[in-house]
Structure 1
Amino acid sequence: MALMTEHDVLAGVGPRLRALRQARSMSLAALAAETGLTASTLSRLETGKLRPTLEQLLPLARTHGVPLDDLVAAPPTGDPRIHLRPIRRSGFTVVPLTRRPGGIQAYKVIYPPAARTPAKPLRTHDGYEWFYVLNGQVHLFLGDQQYRLGPGEAAEFDTRTPHQIVSAGTEPAELLTLFSAQGEQAHLSSQLG
């Protein structure tokens, strides 16, 4: 198998960038406003008159919601599996399920049993969160309200509202969570209460 040269990898970037922009019915001016690149630079990238740099490709990948590898057509590794790397934070485990930059991110979150969960103040941050309880029970503290959710139940909320999620039982609780720092709603809702 022949190795791809840098020229081979970058040759198709322009047409891929144009196709992504056109698929979103986006003008060069609108894309320039979102990425911080000039419309002229974007046009030259799309026509192949300008060789792309990493500093230009990163905001484009983020804006279009695609992995950088998709922009440069990196050769496939032959293994389609996502290699999950659990992250342990403050007593719970977070498993990232998505690899693309920006947009809605998916996680599996495992909360330890209630007896092992230290009490913490409610927190706020920019974004929007949706979660679905896979196993166990959780308490959702949302402002001055408290909700108990079990397997098969879901909730969504604006994370600027003071909140906390903790296990409500003696077993760990497992949740599938969608989170967006941009405040995009998941379009899946559940009545809380």
Structure 2
Amino acid sequence: MEANDTDDSVDTRVRRRLRDLRLQRGMTLEDVATRSNIDVSTLSRLESGKRRLALDHLPRLAAALSVTTDELLRTPEVEDPRIRNRSHTHNQITFWPLTGQGPAGGLHAHKIRISARRRTPPAELPVHEGHDWMYVLSGRLRLILGDRDFTIKPGEAVEFSTWTPHWFGAVDGAVEAIALFGLHGERVHLHTDQR
């Protein structure tokens, strides 16, 4: 193997590792650029392979990402990709997490099962910060948004601002769906007694 081949593989490995570590930490290119004192456009070109790494970049990038230079250079271990969070039942809805706690654009995906007994909305529909999205897998979902009452069938998706008074439940049997909740929506759906 020639020295150039080794240089290329180290360069490629460090670029991938740099991006992976940055994303794991929820950092933007600007965050790393500021901490490493490297121009953001240079950092972007380093990550994309449009610019080669210089030796003086390594200690600054490692420090910006709170790792040692050795950790930045090492081959990353392949982590177990399975999501192992347990299900959680709240207000007759069971939630199975489909995403981990890492960066997912601030959204967390859940498979949900709404009990057939969840049929009566509260007297006052809740409102909270955020946005909800749901895709119905089976059953018929009742969705109340403000003054409107919708029946959502399997294969249909809905998205709505949670600033609108809202509630969802079952029409005539259990409902299974995939749901995306932002941080505020997740707190309300999984942890309060309003729903």
- State the TM bucket, normalised to the shorter chain: 0.5 to 0.7
Residue by residue over 1:30-61, the C-alpha shift from the partner in whole angstroms, topping out at 9 and shown as x without a partner, is x24xxxx8x5414379642353449xxxxxxx
TM-score by length of 1: 0.58
1:178: how far off? 2.0
Residues 19-58 of structure 1 correspond to what in structure 2 (within 5 A)? 31-32=30-31, 39-43=33-37, 47-49=58-60, 51=63, 52-53=65-66
Q: Which residue in the other structure is 1:90 paired with?
A: 91
Residue 126 (structure 2) pairs with residue 123 (structure 1): yes
The structure-2 alpha-carbon separation of the partners of 1:111 and 1:18, relative to structure 1 and needing over 3 Å to count, comes to closer
User: Who wins on radius of gyration, i.e. which is larger?
Assistant: 2
Scaled by the length of structure 2, the TM-score of the pair is: 0.57
Alignment of 1:81-160 (within 5 A): 81-99=82-100, 100-103=102-105, 104-113=107-116, 115-117=117-119, 119-120=121-122, 121-160=124-163
User: Aligned partner of 1:132: which letter?
Assistant: Y
Q: Is the 8 A contact 1:91 1:117 kept in 2?
A: no
Whether the 8 Å CA contact 1:130–1:157 is kept in 2: the answer is yes
Q: Which residue of 1 aligns with 2:165?
A: 162
How many percent identity over aligned positions? 30
Amino acid at match of 2:97: P
SS in 2 for 1:48: helix
Change (3 A) 1:96 1:12: same
Report how far residue 89 of structure 1 moved.
1.3
1:84 to 1:116, Cα distance in 2 relative to 1, 3 A: same
1:63-116 Cα distance to aligned partner (Å, 9 max, x none): xxxxxxxxx975224x44333421111221111111133513211111111x34
Gaps of 5+ in 1: 1-10, 55-71, 184-193
